[in-house]
Chain A
Amino acid sequence: MATYTPTRPIEHLDHGQKPPVPPAGGGGDEGRRDGGPSYGARLRRARLGLICAIATVGMVFVSLTSALIVRRGLPTFDDASRTYFRDWGGVQLPWVLLAINTVILLISSLTMEGARRGLARRAALAPVQSIPGVSLGAERNFPWLGVTVILGFGFLVGQGMAWADLRSRGFFVNTNPDSSFIYLFTGAHAVHLAGGIIALLWAGITSLQHKPIEGRRIVVDVAAWYWHFMGVLWIYVFALLAFAR
């Protein structure tokens, strides 16, 4: 039988790229049973999804920043004097409290990293531990995850205290544009951080349910990178509020 050779053989179609690694199997509804993607593939996908999520959150804060810059430069018309003036306002931030909150968040990033690495290690050793008769000894696991959640809540409480301090000095969300943006940025960051705490609590629940460690490791890994991003984002917000108002 005559054979047809395609006009563009496969090896010339790569455009310098290696062919992608095929998915290990099925996915979808039954992704975690037979035919489901491998642990490595799931982790890679989750991290890729996180990069997309971070891009979106980044766009939210970029747009809020542009709003701040535009609004700060706008004069306001005074009906009484029929003149334009700057009404930006000047809010004295509770610097000490915010600095303490910053330290809490940075420490929580370290504990989060501890949780991520600890779980990665346990996930790597899980196949060895499953061999009958093999023991890794009495390994003590520091509750990094729990400490991170507590520190995360601590940060949110601290931010709440900062808001209370502003209110006690008469600065509400509608007092002036400066106070509006302070509440807006700190609130938006807090909402996103709360999302990270929910992810960590979810990881804790899965550990109580004795589900496979791989799934928990993926949740914690992604939550950890998100958490670090939240730390970086807070430093950005803090710097913005400190220097760009």
Chain B
Amino acid sequence: MAAVTYPNPKVVNFINGTMIPIQVRFDAQPIATDYNVKWTPTIITLDSDGKEHHRTVGFLSPEELIPSLLLGIAKVSFDSDLFDSALTNLNRLLSEYPESNASSETIYLRGVCLYKKTHDAKPLKEAYERLNARNPKDEWTKRAYPYRLL
């Protein structure tokens, strides 16, 4: 991450402009125990109370880190029922990084977000159909499978 991803200019601009970044050693205490860190790199998105909302373990390229962080930011909003804010970041992710590894979960969460915002089940079914059209074997397609009946 330090050699390839973090020096990337797009990554630098995204992180400095969008988040408060903190970097600590994997064995720093008590923080490593508090967040149950067992391997590096571990990247966690927190809210301003220190509560965890999203985690990745393992190397991420610049093209994968930014969408992963956008998903984490969206989850911070989603977990606080701030659906419009969550949707802004989910839509940005799908628009700018449609082929990223985070995009399937993003399609799923976007459908859930729209459902919780409108109480209309149609976005859940649309999320399944979109996921299934992309990759029927994807983990998130399978998780959305029951929504095909809505």
A binds B: no
List the interface of chain B (C-beta within 8 A of A): none
List the interface of chain A (C-beta within 8 A of B): none
